[in-house]
Amino acid sequence: MTRAAGPARVLYLNPMDYGRNPGVDAIAHGLHHRLERGGVELVVEFTDFADPDWLHAQEAAIRAAIDAGVAGIVLYVLDPAQPAAPAAEARERGLAVVTFERPRYPVNGSLVYPNFNQGVYLADELAGALAPGARVAVIGGPKIVDDEELLAGIVHGVVHSHLELVNDPTLDHYRNQTDVRDGGRETALRVLADFPRLDGLIPFNDETMLGTLDALEETGRAGEMPLVSRNGSPKAVQAVREGRSLGTWDIDCPAIGAAVGELMLRALADPAGMRGELAIGPIGRMLTAATLDGWVPWSERVPQTPLNVGL
DSSP letter for each residue of 84-146 = HHHHHHHHHTT-EEEEES--SS--SEEEE--HHHHHHHHHHHHHTTS-TT-EEEEEB--SSHH
The pTM score is: 0.94
Q: Examine the fold and report which residue of 195, 228, 250 is the final residue of a domain before the chain moves on.
A: 250
Burial 203-230 (b: 16+ CB within 10 A, else e): bbbbbbbbbbbbbbeeeeeeeebbbbbb
Residues 138 and 50 in one domain: no
Query: Which CATH number fits the domain that encloses residue 162?
Result: 3.40.50.2300
Residues 45 and 146 in one domain: no
* Angle between helix 253-269 and 22-37 (nearest 10): 40
What is the domain count for the chain? 2
Residues 146 and 49 in one domain: no
Nearest to 99 by CA among 83, 114, 115, 123: 83
Residues 257 and 239 in one domain: no
Q: Is residue 14 part of a domain?
A: yes
What's the CA angle centered on 33, arms 249 and 205, to 5 degrees? 20
The span from the CA of 164 to the CA of 162, in Å, is: 7
**CB within 8 A of 222, min separation 6: which ones?**
213, 216, 244
| 3 state DSSP class of 14 | strand
Residues 33 and 100 in one domain: yes
Residues 159 and 204 in one domain: yes
Residues 143 and 230 in one domain: yes
DSSP 8-class letter at 244: S
**In a 10 Å sphere around its CB, with 0-12 CB exposed, 13-18 middle and 19+ buried, how is residue 301 labelled?**
middle
Residues 98 and 128 in one domain: no
The span from the CA of 61 to the CA of 73, in Å, is: 10
Residues 122 and 195 in one domain: yes
Q: Is residue 302 part of a domain?
A: no
Q: Is residue 245 part of a domain?
A: yes
Nearest to 103 by CA among 130, 138, 79: 79
Q: Is residue 17 part of a domain?
A: yes
Q: Is residue 288 part of a domain?
A: no
Q: Is residue 311 part of a domain?
A: no
Residues 101 and 167 in one domain: no
Domain encompassing residue 180 = 115-250
* pLDDT at position 7: 85
Residues 119 and 226 in one domain: yes
Nearest to 181 by CA among 217, 150, 155: 217
* pLDDT at position 3: 45
Dihedral sign computed on CA atoms, order 63, 65, 69, 71 = negative
pLDDT in tens, 127-183: 999 999 999 999 999 999 999 999 999 999 999 999 999 999 999 999 999 999 999
How many CB atoms are closer than 10 A to CB 161? 18
Q: Examine the fold and report which residue of 250, 266, 292 is the final residue of a domain before the chain moves on.
A: 250
Residues 152 and 260 in one domain: no
CA atoms within 13 A on the CB side of 258: 14
Give mean pLDDT in consecutive 10-residue pieces for the chain, a chain of 311 residues.
Answer: 68 96 97 98 96 95 96 96 96 96 97 97 97 98 96 98 98 97 98 98 98 98 97 97 98 98 96 91 96 93 93 84
Q: Is residue 187 part of a domain?
A: yes
Q: Is residue 182 part of a domain?
A: yes
